[in-house]
Amino acid sequence: MKITLFILSFFTLSFISGSEINYEVSMPEPHTHYFQVKMEISDFEKEYVDIKMPVWAPGSYLVREFAKSVEDLSAKGNNKELQTEKVDKNTWRIHSKNAKNISISYSVYAFEMSVRTSFLDASHGYFNGTSIFMFIEELKNNPISLEIIPFKDWKKVSTSLTKVGDFKYTAPNYDILVDSPVEIGNHITFDFTSAGVLHHVAMYGEGNYDIEKLKIDMAKVTQAATDVFGENPNKEYTFIIHNLTNGSGGLEHLSSTTLQVNRWTYDEDSYKGFLSLVAHEYFHLWNVKRIRPIELGPFDYNNENYTDLLWVMEGFTSYYDELLLYRAGIYSEDEIIGKFKGSINNIENQPGNKVQPVADASFDAWIKAYRPTENSYNTTISYYTKGSVIANMLDLKIINATKGEKTLDDVMKYLYNEYYKKEQRGFTSPEIKKAIETVSGLDLTDFFKNYIYGVETFDYPTIFGYAGFKIETVLNQKPSFGVRLSNNIIKSVTRNSSAYDGGLNVNDEIIAINGYRVNDNLIDFIETKNVGDNVSVLISRDEIIQTIEFPLKERGNTYYYILKESKEMNTVCKKWLRQL
Ligand SMILES: [Zn+2]
């Protein structure tokens, strides 16, 4: 109580006028998966107050309707029960009748173990603010205080929010509050310092990690990321890491990140993949959280926030999440070239790459990338992978055009200095083009038309040629079937494949081919055939047994190899791989 009073008086001094919101989050019965939230609003005298639950979590472009997990909402004004009513899917109207202070309570069901949502069970609690905290539109910029009441014997809370007491925190506004995820429980914590930043790591869940090794390698990665920009805007940064049986992915925040990984990811085979995830989310503290498209902040928490620039935000970040590992001495030259090659082969052999321009992939992320269907592979392209190839192409073009004077790093620095620091706003699509043109001196009109807003194939031989590499392509002429199966049920059919032209459908059950039972050995079986051979496929379609016959086509995939022309690196290559 004393500390709460202290916070109140502190803000009265710092903010002469305006209301403030105090949140309290408790979890008295974690096994039921309910967080209890109390929201107290002071000095906001209105006939009624609308409080809203966000529909999405920034960084993850899907309407998730967090209001669906809210229950038991009630409100009091001057200690009297207030009438409440739901006015749309995520808005509750509190008829506060000019009460000076309002207190609202609700509970939130939290049982989705994802970096973008919230989770509570007997072992720990985790929340991402957008799925827990309601807001009042007019008060989004007002100061906030938060008190967390951990379950019984839970001793630790990890978050990047400013600590002002035991489990008590403040945020200057709602955006910062919900951009600071919180881990609660008895997790393992350790710190390391790199790039002049004190990094806190919160480890939930068992795993085969070695803390001393992590300190060294995470320091290398965070330093390599900071070196791109020449400065790190954080004094402290928090990693919340969930070690799970089935964990994958991360979500970026201003001064923290949450990573979910397989608990055995720290072994020889997959450890570099973990470090690449660290690099990815850490790079976002600049690219997305500070360098951003104009549409991505201040956020509209009630609707989709459309941008056609996710190929810069996620794609460039994906390029750097590999490149930084090379610069940090974690990848060898062969490994980094192998990663770039992998991305190229990935996009060039996906039918959707010739259908959906990457700018459209970005704009439609809300309805396509985040809502994949059985036809997505045929009609869409990942703005992560395609964007990383674009970054690679632009990096080489910039280095070549400036004779090694400039690289994509200089574009990132330019965006950081011009838009984040000087103008303090996001940039538009024409402005990103202009930024790259300013740094490189190139006219990129055709590049944008052909590769960003169009679906042309990059001129790989010329662009890799700048760095002394040659591109070899090999056409896969083996026969191919063209379906993805699960328990013999077709899950997807690749456009223009044998099965596609032959008329097989998603949901068909394949019983036999040419009289042979088929299961996981489908590919082996098809490879014993020749292109042009007819296959007779016995299927069950909606439980009607039928036979479909068609000829096998060649796979037709092109495999790209990036080969070094001489042992010596030329200037472009040295600059590209940062050995100058
Ligand atoms: Zn990302």
Quote the ligand 1 centre to 507 CA distance (angstroms).
Answer: 33
The phi and psi torsions of 235 (rounded to 5 degrees) equal: -90, -35
Quote the ligand 1 centre to 186 CA distance (angstroms).
Answer: 28
Quote the ligand 1 centre to 526 CA distance (angstroms).
Answer: 38
Quote the ligand 1 centre to 277 CA distance (angstroms).
Answer: 9
Does residue 12 share a domain with residue 44?
A: yes
Q: What is the predicted pLDDT for the residue at 18?
A: 77
Lowest mean pLDDT among 15-19, 222-226, 314-318, 328-332: 15-19
Q: Return all residues near 377 (Cβ < 8 A) that are at least 6 apart.
A: 350, 351, 352, 492, 494
Please, what sign has the CA dihedral across residues 447, 452, 453, 458?
positive
The helix (H) or strand (E) run that includes residue 259 is strand 256-262
Quote the ligand 1 centre to 324 CA distance (angstroms).
Answer: 15
CATH of the domain at 10: 2.60.40.3650
The helix (H) or strand (E) run that includes residue 337 is helix 333-348
Task: Assess whether pLDDT exceeds 70 at residue 4.
Answer: no
CA distance 262 to 208: 10
How many folded domains does the chain comprise?
A: 4
Does residue 252 share a domain with residue 140?
A: no
Please check whether residue 371 is in contact with residue 439, taking contact to mean a CB–CB distance below 8 angstroms.
Answer: no
Quote the ligand 1 centre to 133 CA distance (angstroms).
Answer: 23
Does residue 546 share a domain with residue 579?
A: no
Quote the ligand 1 centre to 115 CA distance (angstroms).
Answer: 12
Look at residue 46 and tell me if it is in a domain.
yes
CATH of the domain at 520: 2.30.42.10
Quote the ligand 1 centre to 393 CA distance (angstroms).
Answer: 19
What average pLDDT does range 60-88 have in this prediction? Answer: 97
Quote the ligand 1 centre to 278 CA distance (angstroms).
Answer: 10
399-430 pLDDT per residue, tens: 999 999 999 999 999 999 999 999 999 999 99
Quote the ligand 1 centre to 321 CA distance (angstroms).
Answer: 9
CA distance 155 to 151: 9
Query: Closest by alpha carbon to 394, among 457, 357, 442, 341?
Result: 442
CA angle at residue 502 from 496 to 508, to 5 degrees?
A: 105
Single-letter code of the amino acid located at 163: K
Name the residue with tokens 């480890």.
Answer: 203
Task: Assess whether pLDDT exceeds 60 at residue 7.
Answer: no
Quote the ligand 1 centre to 330 CA distance (angstroms).
Answer: 20
Please check whether residue 57 is in contact with residue 180, taking contact to mean a CB–CB distance below 8 angstroms.
Answer: no
Quote the ligand 1 centre to 518 CA distance (angstroms).
Answer: 39
Does residue 417 share a domain with residue 369?
A: yes
Quote the ligand 1 centre to 516 CA distance (angstroms).
Answer: 45
Look at residue 352 and tell me if it is in a domain.
yes
Look at residue 561 and tell me if it is in a domain.
no
Give the three-class secondary structure for 392. helix
Does residue 292 share a domain with residue 279?
A: no
Quote the ligand 1 centre to 251 CA distance (angstroms).
Answer: 7
Does residue 295 share a domain with residue 267?
A: no
What average pLDDT does range 321-333 have in this prediction? Answer: 96
Quote the ligand 1 centre to 288 CA distance (angstroms).
Answer: 8
Q: What is the predicted pLDDT for the residue at 444?
A: 98
Does residue 52 share a domain with residue 146?
A: yes
Quote the ligand 1 centre to 281 CA distance (angstroms).
Answer: 6
CA distance 202 to 238: 8
Q: What is the predicted pLDDT for the residue at 279?
A: 98
Domain of residue 507 covers 479-554
Please check whether residue 110 is in contact with residue 119, taking contact to mean a CB–CB distance below 8 angstroms.
Answer: yes
SS (H, E, C) 107-163: EEECECCCCCCEEEECCEEEECHHHCCCECHHHCCCCEEEEEECCCCCCEEECCCEE
* Final residue in a domain of this structure, among 186, 220, 245: 186
* Final residue in a domain of this structure, among 269, 285, 301: 285
The phi and psi torsions of 402 (rounded to 5 degrees) equal: -100, 10
365-375 pLDDT per residue, tens: 999 999 999 99
CATH of the domain at 215: 1.10.390.10
* Final residue in a domain of this structure, among 186, 201, 229: 186
Does residue 339 share a domain with residue 448?
A: yes
CA distance 90 to 308: 26
Does residue 442 share a domain with residue 318?
A: yes
Other Cβ atoms within 10 Å of 472 Cβ, number: 10
Q: 222 has which bridge partners?
A: none
In angstroms, the Cα distances linking 211 to 236, 549, 558 are: 19, 58, 43
Does residue 153 share a domain with residue 214?
A: no
Look at residue 560 and tell me if it is in a domain.
no
Quote the ligand 1 centre to 279 CA distance (angstroms).
Answer: 10
Lowest mean pLDDT among 158-167, 264-273, 328-337, 565-574: 565-574
Q: Is the peptide bond before 298 cis (omega within 30 degrees of 0)?
A: yes
| Structure token pair of residue 418 | 């011009």
Q: 562 has which bridge partners?
A: 471
Does residue 327 share a domain with residue 273?
A: no
**DSSP code of residue 356:** S
Please check whether residue 342 is in contact with residue 239, taking contact to mean a CB–CB distance below 8 angstroms.
Answer: no
Quote the ligand 1 centre to 307 CA distance (angstroms).
Answer: 15
Does residue 365 share a domain with residue 495?
A: no
